[in-house]
Amino acid sequence: MIKMNAQVFDIFPLSVFKDKIEISNEEKNNIINFICNSEKETKNIKKRKGDAWLGDTKGQEYLFKNSIMANLSNLVSEKIKIYTEMLSLDNDKLCFFYQRSWATITKNNERIQPHRHDQSNISFAYYLLKPKDSGDIRFIVEPQNEIAKGLFHKEKLDLGLLKNVNNRNTPNVDIFIEEGDIVIFPSKTQHATIPNITENPRISISGDVTIMLKNSLGHERLMPHFDNWQQF
């Protein structure tokens, strides 16, 4: 018998934060009605078959500026600061800004295509209405362990070259979502949703957050506060 002394170090994790936000049924229904009315207002703007309705591409990208969203935006703010504390950041040295916020409506056989938000720092999705089987969120990465390009594609699994799928060899991870969940992650992370296979719509609220330093003394890379910017 050969004695094995090998060690494996699984490093560089992507940490996706998930928590609950509970609001009253009255508030939830008011927000749902507001979002559905916003969709109706943009019915003349075309979208591709199979794509969800995305408020940020339909002129509805500042949802949190509406007074009806005041309580929910405050609750989301609290969760975002818990997320940055999890990353060991000192929130007292940072300013947080909602760069934009919008709703999505995903109906039968619709989905949100893979994308990322390179213009911001932190992104989130809050699931206001989430029927069973209406689609979860998928995170997509270029696997760190892919020693040959395309090695971890599904076709390699079908051909038997890849014996199984695990966290060391998968380019996709799906996170199970329930109504009332909020998911927070780095904006640069590519993500998508699983198609809604029910007859009931899934409604989520997404947003992008920019962080700035209160005092940029000694810092070269993080964004300085815009109070010190010069417009020309």
66-92 pLDDT, tens per residue? 999 999 999 999 999 999 999 999 999
What does the pLDDT read at residue 46? 87
What does the pLDDT read at residue 43? 87
* Residue ranges, CATH 2.60.120.620, the chain: 19-36+48-136+178-214
What is the CATH code of the structural domain delimited by 19-36+48-136+178-214?
A: 2.60.120.620
Sign of CA dihedral 121, 68, 31, 35: negative
What does the pLDDT read at residue 52? 97
Q: Could you say which residues of the chain have pLDDT below 70?
A: 1-4
Rounded distance, CA 61 to CA 16, Å? 23
Rounded distance, CA 189 to CA 184, Å? 11
Residues 87-112: tens digit of each pLDDT:
999 999 999 999 999 999 999 999 99
Angle value at C-alpha 109, between 19 and 165, nearest 5 degrees: 60
